[in-house]
Structure 1
């Protein structure tokens, strides 16, 4: 791959966050964290939606967008290389806005899922944002900017619950859907007005349609099979067909990519130990922390019904106040971690974040019945989450070149998105083992929440162990970053 950008000047390297740079940063933080806002607001709304439409299939309200995003990611990354990251980001935002409008107006659960599926085109946005930050910021600002973009999840976690409480308690779940549509429109305006086009381009080679379909389709099929496993049965022929067929498609993708002239992804990049080990650890940990929030949302917002439901029955606003201290800590931990990554090994920092997340989820399994318990264990989890989300973009920068950045972000995002979908579905499967269906709505007992938190702790522990596979990496200060188009 080639880049059309020249190396940044020493003056650009010494530049700080001026007014223009700050506007670009805000315009990148917004679309990246809109994904987090979608996850949080939609997660809080799913209890109302399940009751409104009398459905036991509410898991697909959040999973469908992930499936669509997973499928299109290979083609989005190729389009970004060919036509520019900004152009592709604008196109994805327009599609996301259309999907949000359909969901807001949906007269049935099926139409709601249709809207959520179209909105799934927005899913690869964060991967492009991180690649854009590397392209347009001077070298000394790439680390802090990436940390702030990732740490913006804390701002969402702080303000999002209060916003969702205000929307849900005042306007219901449709109010949430209308807000998401408005937020997508704001994202579109910011991108058009303030974000420059990336100077980095890939070679204009033919699109690898076969490779993209094998990878996107294979991963999507396997995830769909996992999602349907609880309903169809894990040994059912349809379940096995999707899962095994999806895995075989991914294997065939590897074979095809090693033989064609212009592959979607260079297998040689994936064969490098620093790359695959970082992909594995960051995807497993980020996938876990993004999925585990579902447990708290259901626990806090589901009603308390003797012998039927052991939800805490809080309002969305009360749940927001409970989570506020943890949200502040996510922001602080991510900002501090982004700065520390310039001085300390990122793999050590990632292991520390994974340890905190593991301990936090284990504590949550035992202590989730009162407000003080939720706030106390939430602080431990928040420190781990803040460190993990800040390090994901930083570590990818440390192991790939600028021309590999968009594709590397895309592939890591696919792995992470797949794990988010799988872990989320497994959480719902575990919850349902100690649940009851009443009038078409799925409710959960206390044992269900306990086991779900233990599942999250297990995945976080696996992520912590996977960090040991990462070799010593070059520090962020030594990585080739920043095309400085600002």
Structure 2
């Protein structure tokens, strides 16, 4: 018998889970307004202060696939609450920090909470009626963009008008509130207990490989791309990933079922996710700089940090506005079409930036971010639908978490590539080297090209002829609830 939930209850569950996603995503941009102040606040160098951001990135990359697997084993709602615990603890540690080391440790703890987003998306499959699943997934996916976009004006406003510590106390309070709402109002998922133990060695292996990869990518510009540290880390990542893959194919209960991941629908969706993650992040690196650089450069707009955040915020909200439209498109044409269309819209947004850069009005850049993030909203809502349409229900959280990891890797590579472009194409301004107008144009054209490639990849995703049901009755066994063939 098909499970039904009252409309009000379903809407409340989706709203609570989306709020959790917004709070988790908020931590990613929370410290951006503080970057220039961190060396002075903690009496350290700019290079050391950058670990406040890097630590969160590394911790999130390691925690996301682990949280997904544990969610499949012990329940997604339970792991949602568990993921909020380090986010809360990390926020408190950051708020109380008086030196760099505890601040970095607190930021790493906050990163451990990023499993909230894929766990929330996966839980929807278990607690939301089938007819509302598509729109619910789209809204939950959009929460990532909303949280990231709101983080800039939110943190800038607080940092300019009160102590920076208030930022972290607010996030701590939000984490407590979301946890209480989940515990009280979100139903548990009906998940059969896992037949075997957790792949601890696989978790350590993947974690070590990701740390080497992302550390090499994120710090390569500081250390030098040809330095021994950078090349050693990237080389170690390749070796560790190869060994990890060998192990995962042989262990009885792997952290990530690579045979499921290798299914064409899942594999191609993950490839598209890396590309969309790259394209999404490129404009978020370029546009804030264009808004804040001095007008005397000829292409900067001279906006304050708070004004920049306010100009960027509507783009994140646009993801939420577009999410139900994307869900309707997926219902009519399939999520593959939505992903391809969204990727093309992202590329279109980058293309619109070419005549806009160098003008003296921020309105053109606002249009660019609105178009780009509209495309991201379409794409991010379609990815989990494609993934869940090709994996057993017993592996939903693990597969979604791995897909989220692929987006994060795309964003990290984007930061490295765009950083190199802007560092190489510079202009002298009062004795300081600033990214040049041609550098910004080149970066946006790269984003356009990657968006087009993502659209092509999405268009050729081989979707199974018979899609599995998006939800199952509470008593159905995972194997019976979803039958996916690639």
TM-score class normalised by the smaller sequence: 0.7 to 0.9
In the TM superposition, what is the alpha-carbon distance from 1:344 to its structure 2 partner?
0.8
Name the structure 1 match of 2:277.
286
- Select the residue among 23, 30, 38 that pairs with 1:41: 30
Q: Structure 2 regions of 5+ residues with no counterpart?
A: 476-486
- Select the residue among 416, 420, 425 that pairs with 2:411: 420
Name the structure 2 match of 1:470.
461
Say how many residue pairs are matched: 470
In the TM superposition, what is the alpha-carbon distance from 1:126 to its structure 2 partner?
0.8
Compute the TM-score of the two structures, normalised by the length of structure 1.
0.86
Q: Aligned with 1:123: secondary structure?
A: helix
**Is 2:303 the counterpart of 1:314?**
yes
Name the structure 2 match of 1:4.
none
CA contact 2:69–2:395 (8 Å) conserved in 1? no
Distance 2:159 2:418 in 1: 24
Q: How does 1:315-394 map to 2 (within 5 A)?
A: 315-323=304-312, 325-368=314-357, 369=359, 370-394=361-385
**1:333-356 Cα deviation digits (max 9, x unpaired):** 111111221111221221111111
Q: Structure 1 regions of 5+ residues with no counterpart?
A: 1-8
**Is 2:191 the counterpart of 1:200?**
yes
Distance 1:469 1:92 in 2: 35
CA contact 1:310–1:444 (8 Å) conserved in 2? no
What is the CA RMSD across the aligned residues, in angstroms?
3.1
When residues 180 and 325 of structure 1 are mapped into structure 2, their CA distance, relative to the original with a 3 A threshold, is: closer
CA contact 1:43–1:297 (8 Å) conserved in 2? no
Distance 1:56 1:428 in 2: 15
**Is 2:469 the counterpart of 1:479?**
yes
Distance 1:343 1:116 in 2: 42
**1:81-138 Cα deviation digits (max 9, x unpaired):** 3322222222221111111222233334444322211211112221111111111112
Distance 1:454 1:166 in 2: 32
Name the structure 2 match of 1:29.
18
Compute the TM-score of the two structures, normalised by the length of structure 2.
0.86
Q: Aligned with 1:218: secondary structure?
A: helix
- Select the residue among 52, 57, 72 that pairs with 1:81: 72
Name the structure 1 match of 2:445.
454
Name the structure 1 match of 2:420.
429
CA contact 1:137–1:482 (8 Å) conserved in 2? no
Distance 1:324 1:254 in 2: 40
Distance 1:157 1:73 in 2: 17
When residues 237 and 319 of structure 1 are mapped into structure 2, their CA distance, relative to the original with a 3 A threshold, is: closer
When residues 41 and 296 of structure 1 are mapped into structure 2, their CA distance, relative to the original with a 3 A threshold, is: farther
In the TM superposition, what is the alpha-carbon distance from 1:139 to its structure 2 partner?
1.5
Name the structure 2 match of 1:6.
none
Distance 1:264 1:52 in 2: 40
- Select the residue among 171, 175, 199 that pairs with 2:162: 171
Name the structure 1 match of 2:218.
227
Distance 1:472 1:206 in 2: 32
82-91 or 119-128: bigger deviation: 82-91
CA contact 1:364–1:374 (8 Å) conserved in 2? yes
CA contact 2:80–2:116 (8 Å) conserved in 1? yes
Name the structure 2 match of 1:407.
398
**1:174-230 Cα deviation digits (max 9, x unpaired):** 443333222222222222222222111352312222222222211221121122322
**Is 2:240 the counterpart of 1:240?**
no
When residues 103 and 223 of structure 1 are mapped into structure 2, their CA distance, relative to the original with a 3 A threshold, is: same
Distance 2:417 2:238 in 1: 18
When residues 182 and 446 of structure 1 are mapped into structure 2, their CA distance, relative to the original with a 3 A threshold, is: farther
Name the structure 1 match of 2:481.
none
Name the structure 2 match of 1:214.
205
**1:233-288 Cα deviation digits (max 9, x unpaired):** 22222222211111111111121122222222223212211111111112321353
